[in-house]
Structure 1
Amino acid sequence: MTHRAENLATLMRERLGVRAGEGFEAKVKHAGRRLPRWARKQAAVIVEAMALEAHPKLAQQVAHKKVDKAFKELTYFLERQDVKTRRKNRFLDFVAALAFVVFVTIGLVLAVMVWRGLV
């Protein structure tokens, strides 16, 4: 299970750009909203199973089908992520926010000028 979790941590580093933290649990914590809610829940299932697996008596409580499903779904999600598209979307979001700020500023300046009777 640890090996599979490390593979997921590597995918998170490559596909989501999560550089901080060592190991799967730290990567999930630092990924935050880059992972959708359902993926964070699946990651929590894996982290809990890893914690239970560390103890011999508690390892019997691990629901292997649920954990395998979580690994499968997270792997599928992370392999579908495209780094170039993510960068392009971040750039376009920045440009859109900048354009909005410029238009609002121009609108406020014009409103003040009309209010003062300068236009």
Structure 2
Amino acid sequence: MDLQARADRLAHLIEERLDIRGTGLSAKLGRGGRRLPRAVRDAGEQLLLAQRMAATPKLARQIDYDRIAAACDVAERMLGRIDPWERRTTFAVNWLAGNAFNLIVVAALALAVIVWRGLM
């Protein structure tokens, strides 16, 4: 598999699994930030560097395709294990739990103020 096909596959997996939008792998890596696992970021950076090196004939001979293929395989396996629906539901449940906790704290503080002022 050539470098561009690997980059396209990795970019597609990042968009599909993590909902990170952008045009091309470099944009998705830039927008992903800390949401991307370290192995995925490293593999993406290695792949982008190899693509830049491949544009120059003298540097193209220095590309270690086996190392890049291994890094991309690890990144694809990591992205393959991520379930997008589970991510979304976990986010929603955590958001609801945080808001419920905040409402409980506000209600307890309001009740404490009412009791403190002797209105109840």
Q: Give TM-score, length-normalised by structure 1.
A: 0.84
> How far apart are residue 65 of structure 1 and its match?
2.7
User: Residue 119 of structure 2 aligns to a residue in which SS?
Assistant: coil
> How far apart are residue 9 of structure 1 and its match?
0.9
Hey, what does 1:45 align to over in structure 2?
46
Letter in 1 for 2:54: E
List, as ranges, runs of 4+ consecutive aligned residues in structure 1 with deviation greater than 6 Å.
Answer: none
- Give unpaired runs (5+ residues) of structure 1: none
Match runs of 1:1-119 below 5 Å: 1-19=3-21, 21-119=22-120
- Give unpaired runs (5+ residues) of structure 2: none
User: Cα deviations across residues 6-52 of structure 1 (Å, max 9, x unaligned)?
Assistant: 01111112121122x21111111122232123322222222222222
RMSD after superposition:
1.8
- Take 1:42 and 1:113, find their aligned partners in 2: how far apart are those partners? 58
- Take 2:109 and 2:67, find their aligned partners in 1: how far apart are those partners? 55
Letter in 1 for 2:62: Q
- Take 1:26 and 1:84, find their aligned partners in 2: how far apart are those partners? 23
- Take 1:54 and 1:108, find their aligned partners in 2: how far apart are those partners? 64
**Count of paired positions:** 118
Letter in 1 for 2:117: R
User: Residue 67 of structure 1 aligns to a residue in which SS?
Assistant: helix
